[in-house]
Amino acid sequence: MIIETGSNQRYIFATNKQRLQVAASAAVWQLGFVWIEEAIRGVALSYCRDLAEFEYNARDKRSVMHVVKASGRAVLLVHTAEDGRAIITAVTRRALEEKTGIDVWGRVSEPIDAGFETAGDRFFETDVLLREQRTKRLPPTVRFPTLPFHEQCAYTGLPAATVGKEVVGENPKARSDVTEFLFEKATGARQRLLNELHGEEVGLTSEEQTTAKRCTVQMDQMWDGVRNNGWVAAIHADGNGIGKIFANLRITYPDGRTFVEKQKELSDALEKLTWKALRDTVLGIDRTDQNKGRTVWPNRSILPIIVGGDDISAAAHGGIAFEFAALLVANFGHYARADELGLPFITAFDDIRAKLPTLDDVPKQLSLAVGLVFTKPNHPFSHSISLAEELTSSAKKHSKRRTGAIDSLVLYESAVRGLADIRDLMTIPEGRTEDDDTNPPTTAEAPGKPVFSYAGKPIIVNDEHGELMTVGEVRKLIDELSPRPDADRPAEQLPGQHHAADSVKTLSRRQIQDLRPALTEPRTLAGVTDQLRLVRARIDLSGNQIPGIVAEELRIDPAAGKDSTMFVTALDLAVVRAGTVEGNARANDDNPVPTAATT
């Protein structure tokens, strides 16, 4: 049998209040990890996680095996359909009675044969029927109908059921039942994340615990949120290759017992691997660099919001977010390649290739794709994280899910738009002429084939790729496009900033800024080429030279496959790393400037 939650991201980010987002994420996580076990024991059944124990108890038919233990999803083995329905009833009743707002449902399969030979087929059938069942069910919003005389919740727009204050002295605000549930669970949910990150039980030294507590937002700091330099980043990370494994698991392992054991092994290892990589990243440890040094993140610069399975969502200080994301991807890849937690996945990928040699894009190991969105601090976080999810999908697509990658966007505007709409305006479609230059058609109106884009492409982490730049190459490009430090004082460096002592600036700040509109303002390819030619001519007359790595990104040749540039992306990342005057002044009041690495 399978129990699953739906519309998780919509549920978690239905409000911009981060306390409620954390609580909603924890509620989905608890359903898969806590509620299932409590429901099993609540209907007087015995809980187990061992197949041999489950089969041994077949005589009294009172045990249940929890096969897949994941956030918002559970796969169970039960001896009778009645037991399965009782567990589903207990879980769904709890979701309703506690007014959680979670969309959850379940499905019991047809009986599996005594020898477990049909286990894979039954799982596949049940999963298909579970998704079919979802389309026939009413959405959870019908539980909370909004009538004309209802006051709306100040946080979610659902009908209000009560009022409450967040802090002493504040005016009461209308709250829905769901919002009230989340407020009650928010403190415990945040504490669980912090305990998993740096609690005494996770094996960190006292010094490491102190370091992790210093750079993450703690319970008594939640009112002020994540520290920033005028820019805040929304980070969303998701694993590559997980779907490829589970979609082909029953074909790869036709033996039913092996299929069940593999499901359990993989789901358990994934959660542990993700937390291991995140803890190291928060501590600034680079496992791919023989642990030679540690990056020191600024105080209160990281705010985890969701950690479950291979999913991570967080808010971060804008000045360190790119380096933080790169380190997270690198550490995840290290453990996926060189740790016992990654071994089951390497074995599974090998077995899939052996069993299904014609299957395309099967990676050698797990990796992480990250979407990174930079905005001003007051921008709606739910919109930022939605864009970050779309960027994660873009990173997966361009890297073909074979290696870790980051796709980023710096959002200067306050408008709330989707990624496709934003990047449409960064692309010159095929066939565009000067006639439609002033009113460029959108992709929806005139699809065509893209000719040139200044949106950039995803960035590869600790690997090689024929078409995409690596993190190291992008760092060099950022350094060349960063403002020159004052000559009369030492440069203040954020993690990853290298130009202070070992790079010679060959372009002035004004010349760098002149290159940006030459790429972004013309609406035809010919216009871009002409504007670049003019700016280059002025640079030549000044006696300066364009560095080679910058010149390569200014080369536009769609016929030769050079149909995009990373220049604007790198320049935006340089702007974000430098921060705003107001943001830096505020952050420096109580936060020392971090160094690139320290022993």
DSSP string for 281-306 = HHHTB-GGGTT--B--PPTT-EEEEE
The pLDDT value recorded for residue 483 is: 65
The predicted pLDDT at position 71 comes to 87
pLDDT at residue 436, rounded to an integer: 56
pLDDT at 326: 95
pTM for the model: 0.88
pLDDT tens digits, 367-414 = 999 999 999 988 988 899 999 999 999 999 988 888 899 999 999 988
Predicted confidence at residue 535, as pLDDT, reads 92
Q: Which residues of the chain have pLDDT under 70?
A: 59, 290-292, 431-449, 483-505, 585-599
How many CB atoms are located within 10 Å of the residue 420 CB? 11
| 449 phi and psi angles, rounded to 5 deg | -105, 135
* pLDDT at residue 41, as a whole number: 92
Give residue 138's pLDDT: 81
> Please, are residues 105 and 73 in contact by the beta-carbon 8 Å criterion?
no
Instruction: For residue 43, give the 3-state DSSP assignment.
Output: coil
CA 9 to chain centre: 11
Torsions phi, psi for 112 (to 5 deg):
-90, 140
- Number of residues assigned to the chain: 599
Residues 459-514: tens digit of each pLDDT = 999 777 777 889 999 999 999 998 655 433 334 444 444 444 444 447 888 889 89
Identify the CA nearest to 281 among candidates 247, 307, 249.
Answer: 307
Residue 33 tokens read as 């990890």
In this structure, the strands spanning 367-375 and 405-410 are parallel
Strand order in the sheet with 46-48: 46-48, 63-70, 73-77, 2-6, 103-107
Domains, the chain, ranges and CATH?
2-143 (no CATH), 219-478+565-599 (3.30.70.270)
